[in-house]
Structure 1
Amino acid sequence: MGDVREVGVVAEHDLVDLALVELVRRCGYRAVILDCEQDAADDLPVTPVVLARTGIRVAQVSANPAFAGAAIAVMETAGMVVPQVRGITVIPSNDDAVKHLRAFLEGVLGAPGDRGAVPLSPREREILGTYVLGATVEQTAAEHYVAGSTVRTHYRRVTARYAVAGRPVTNKVQLLLHMVADGWIDLPEPS
């Protein structure tokens, strides 16, 4: 079974698959590609939300009993004949498409901030963001005009919160991964 907050993107085997996964991620949710051609029907990760781009893929997902409770949306494209399947949400292809997608995902999965993120203050995010992205304690302290002990104190307090949440942190790489997963840090785009 997939993650209860994961969005399945039905593969069409083109670059738009990856773009849609990235769009879902930027909306604050995790995404996985569902390959209806390669995987057997019972090998597909089951997700509570499925996004498709063609009527054929909507029909494949709708026919799979594993997705009986999933919310299914089709991303409308120019010239597309929208499938007339009951319970399917159509995301229109217009300037508001991202807004409609975000509203659909929030309606099914809840707001991205509801995903159990460990709470961090803006200052903790600012200082620890610099630190976990590669700066030393001294470099972080100088950049934010604080003492090195302040950086260490933020680190200890935040790692203690992660431990209480059942997500222990033993080094700054683990903290980076948790902060990215919680949406506190957006990694820079590759150049």
Structure 2
Amino acid sequence: MADPRQKKICETIRELMHTATTGRSPFTIMRPATVDTGGAPNARVVVLREANDGVLSFITDLRSPKAKEICAQPLVNLSGYEASSSVQLRVAGRARINTDEERRKKFWNGLLPHTHLLFWSPLAPGAIVSAPEDLYTEVELLNGDSAKLYAHFGLVDVIVDCIDWLDLSTEPPVRCRFARTRDGWEASWLAP
């Protein structure tokens, strides 16, 4: 990147991702879109947990449609928006369920206990129940059994291929794309 404005935007993106994973910011909550079994887009929100060296990580229940969709079709797109600065980020990449047991365990042990409880149900996310309150009477709760909770825990890594930055606070708006190449990151200005 020869253009100093693009270098500054690139550094700002790194700072935003760092802040999103070490504290709370609008980019802490990202919206990954996957492709469902019928070929349709399927978007939801996740908490961004880690951003390192062009890899973004979040957690999921391994029984969830999201995990199954990632295994079947790893191409994903994550988006986020910070209203106070009028900045939108779109990230395209390849997702994978991390199978490195040492990293999974370390990640799991770094989560707060209330986050472990996201994996409490013996039913898969999205399973049909007769009524919300019946879930607690129809199923045997895992009661914090760490091994059973951990069995449902998935760590998703997204290898970033492209980041699209759109700053709507300027006149005219500024849009820049950063694409991964063999030699690093290539920046291009885009029409907003």
Q: Report the TM-score, using the length of structure 1 for normalisation.
A: 0.25
Q: TM-score, normalised by structure 2?
A: 0.25
Compare CA radii of gyration and give the structure with the larger one: 1
Structure with the greater relative contact order (CA < 8 A, sep ≥ 6): 1 or 2? 2
Q: Which structure's residues are more often helix, by fraction?
A: 1
